[in-house]
Amino acid sequence: MGNVLNILFCLSLLYLATTTRVTAYLQVFVLQSILLFFIVMMPLLNHLSVFTLVLPLTILVVKAILIPRYMKKKIIYELEIKTTIEANIQQFNFLLLSVFSMVAVFVSCNLITKDAAVDPIPFAAAFSSVVIGLYVIIFRKKLIVHVIGFLVMENGIFLLGIAVASEMPFLIELGILLDIFVVVFLMGIAINKISSTFAADEVSALDKLKN
Amino acid sequence: MEILSKITIYMVFIFAAPLFMGLVNKLKARLTGRIGPSVFQSYYDLRRLLRKETIYANSASFISRMAPVVSFVSILFAGMILPVSFTRPLISFNGDLILFAYLLGLSRFFQILGAMDIGSSFEGMGAAREATFAVFAEPIYFFTLGSLAFIFGRTSMYEIFHSITLGDPSFLVFIVVASISVFFLMITETSRMPVDDPNTHLELTMIHEVMILDNSGQDLFLYQYSAYLKILIYATFTSNFFNPFSMAENYMIGFLVYLCVMLVLICCLVWIETMLGRFKMKSIPQYLLFAASIGILNLLIYSFFRK
């Protein structure tokens, strides 16, 4: 069953490479967060208690509700951002690049985890999430898409934490979650400020900003 | 005796092919608020074409005469490899999944040759498009069926499909995902809606229909019939992932499951055709690559999965 969630996680990454809508990017992020919730919940099902439920529920609230709502209302609607992402390279090439890197990541993760007591599939899924989040930041022009790319990367790091540590240091994860929320909040304010003083939501326009 | 029953099943399969298309067209018409043609309209069309005279262009060589026949016969042979019932199909040996792919490839190749042979620029354009999209469609087949072959360690289509059991839930999702990418393949290979609009009459936007513009009479009959057969073959191929014929030992239940899967497929096809518009030509390779990458992902996950 855990495999199924990881397949869906990887598929959502591939979907990032085919879609051209900003809102679809946000929806993929929400889907990934819900998948993360189930992945965290899966091993906890046998010994359910209030204490173990804190982390999954915080993930669900922060990542699947608070951050997407904030981004949708405060950034996408208020700034009237155009719905298409502006790409530096063609979508087809982006997808090809993602697939090749995913294959490379899976093969290398399988080699790395051969002797270690680490489940290779969540490990590889997490790693490819980090890589594709990085590609999103590199190959997209819109600032808001950069924020989502960053969030996808963070999802990957979170999944990596689950894959590597069987016993999760969950206070640290909670701290990370808080940090993420603050970072997204700050990024939102920054994008708001930029667009109110300087009518641009693309990275390419930012190099005209000079003293 | 067994061979006789195999041949009977195969004949039924062949003769039911236009019915599938008729059902799709009827349902599509009802969904858009029209009454639509009869379910048997495809049969009437075929009969009409068979009676008509075949006319060749002045510039046509022997390839134009040969192409429809070769195309049709290779589709017929591909139908013989596909497992449709409880028994082994008519042709079945180790490695027949590669023969299946290349019989369909041969059919397409001759269709492309026939289109180019006439020398019309429109048909050449359609042929170029068909060849381009075929390049992206073939990996879908090999990655999805290849991953199944890899998992079970078998190379014959009948054995692969009869090894599928739906007990394991994680395997069930794998099957559903694989059948979705084969559904993508079916849409591409049979030139249905998101990839190609079969109803359009503007040559610039057509793929499959533009290639057979200059064919008439019996040649057109062969092309149409092979198109009907092709879509039924791919639909059965998709339904085989759910393995209706070995899950239930009972003939009746197996057949009912098969019919249900077919009905679901028809509904999906119709729903997609009414809801979606045609993709831009530019973005079709990207969608095909997406379907192929689903297969790659399955292969990766199941080859690295350690119990």
Nearest to A4 among B173, B289, B304 (CB): B173
| Mean model confidence pLDDT for chain A | 81
Identify which has the larger pLDDT, A78 or B227: B227
Residue B305 falls within a domain, yes or no? no
Q: Which helix (H) or strand (E) holds A23?
A: helix A22-44
Mean pLDDT of all residues belonging to chain B: 84
For the segment B120-151, what is each residue's pLDDT rounded down to a tens digit? Answer: 888 888 888 888 888 888 888 988 888 888 88
What pLDDT, on the 0 to 100 scale, is given for residue B190? 84
Residues B59-87, mean pLDDT to the nearest whole number = 88
- Report which of A6, A15, A36, A9 is spatially closest to residue A176, judged by C-alpha positions: A36
Q: Which residues of B touch A122 (CB under 8 A)?
A: none
Tell me which of A28, A42, A92 to substitute to probe the interface with B (most B C-beta atoms closer than 10 Å).
A92
Is the CB of A110 inside 8 Å of chain B's CB atoms?
yes
Are residues B289 and A95, on separate chains, in Cβ contact within 8 Å? Answer: yes
The reply to whether B306 falls in a domain is: no
Is A99 part of the contact surface with chain B (CB cutoff 8 Å)? yes
Better-scored residue on pLDDT, B294 or B171: B294
Residue B169 distance to chain A (closest CA, Å): 7
**How high is the pLDDT of residue A211?**
60
- Looking at per-residue pLDDT, the higher value among B248 and B284 belongs to B284
**Minimum Cα–Cα distance from A110: chain B residue:** B304
The model's pLDDT over A99-143, given as tens digits with 9 standing for 90+, comes to 999 999 988 888 887 777 777 788 888 889 999 999 998 888 887
ipTM of the complex: 0.76
Residue A88 contacts B, CB cutoff 8 Å: no
Residue B172 Cα, gap to closest chain A Cα (Å): 9
- Could you tell me the two tokens for B254? 């197996």
Res. A166: pLDDT tops 60? no
- Mean pLDDT throughout B82-111? 87
Residue A106 touches partner B, C-beta closer than 8 Å:
yes
Return the pLDDT at B76.
92
Q: Does A91 contact B170 at a Cβ distance shorter than 8 Å?
A: no
Assigned domain for B105 exists: yes
B214 domain residue, yes or no: yes
Residue of B173, B293, B304 lying closest to A7 (CB–CB): B173
Residues in A closer than 8 angstroms to B300, CB to CB, are 102-103, 106, 124
More confident residue, A43 or B186: B186
Distance from CA of A107 to the nearest CA of B (A): 8
> Is B130 contained in some domain?
yes
Q: Residue B19's pLDDT is what?
A: 92
Residue B87 lies in a domain: yes
Q: Which among B304, B306, B307 is the top mutation candidate for probing chain A, defined by the most A β-carbons within 10 Å of its own β-carbon? A: B304
Q: Which residues of B touch A105 (CB under 8 A)?
A: none
Our count of domains for chain B comes to 1
Q: Is B307 within a domain?
A: no
Q: Does residue B229 sit within a domain?
A: yes
pLDDT the model gives residue B307: 45
Of B174, B290, B297, the CB nearest to A18: B290
For residue A180, the model assigns a pLDDT of 79
Closest residue on chain B to A5 (Cα): B170
Dist CA B281 CA B75 (whole Å) = 27
Give the pLDDT band (50/70/90) at residue B43. very high
Nearest-by-CA chain A residue for B284? A92
Contact status of A166 with chain B (Cβ, < 8 Å): no
Please check the confidence at residue A7 and state whether its pLDDT lies above 50.
Answer: yes
Contact A7 B304 (CB under 8 A): no
Q: Which two tokens stand for residue A150?
A: 């960053």
CA distance A34 to B158: 39
Closest Cα in chain A to B287? A18
The answer, yes or no, to whether residue A167 has pLDDT greater than 60, is no
- Which residues form the domain of B11? 2-300
B293, A14: Cβ pair inside 8 Å? yes
pLDDT for B306: 52
d(CA B117, CA B94) in angstroms, rounded, equals: 36
From the list B173, B287, B296, which residue is nearest A103 (CB)? B296
Provide the 8-state DSSP code for A47: G
CA distances B13 to A149, B41, B83, B218, Å, are 50, 18, 11, 21
Residue A61 pLDDT greater than 90, yes or no: no
Cβ contact, residue pair B301, A10, below 8 Å:
yes
Assign B241 to helix, strand or coil.
coil
Residue B27 to chain A, least CA–CA distance (Å): 30
Look at residue B178 in the predicted model and tell me its pLDDT: 82
Is pLDDT above 90 for B71? yes
Minimum mean pLDDT among A70-79, B196-205, B234-243: which range? B196-205
**Using only C-alpha atoms, what is the Rg of chain B?**
19
Give alpha helix (H) positions in chain B.
2-31, 41-51, 62-81, 96-117, 121-152, 157-163, 169-189, 208-211, 217-240, 244-247, 251-275, 284-304
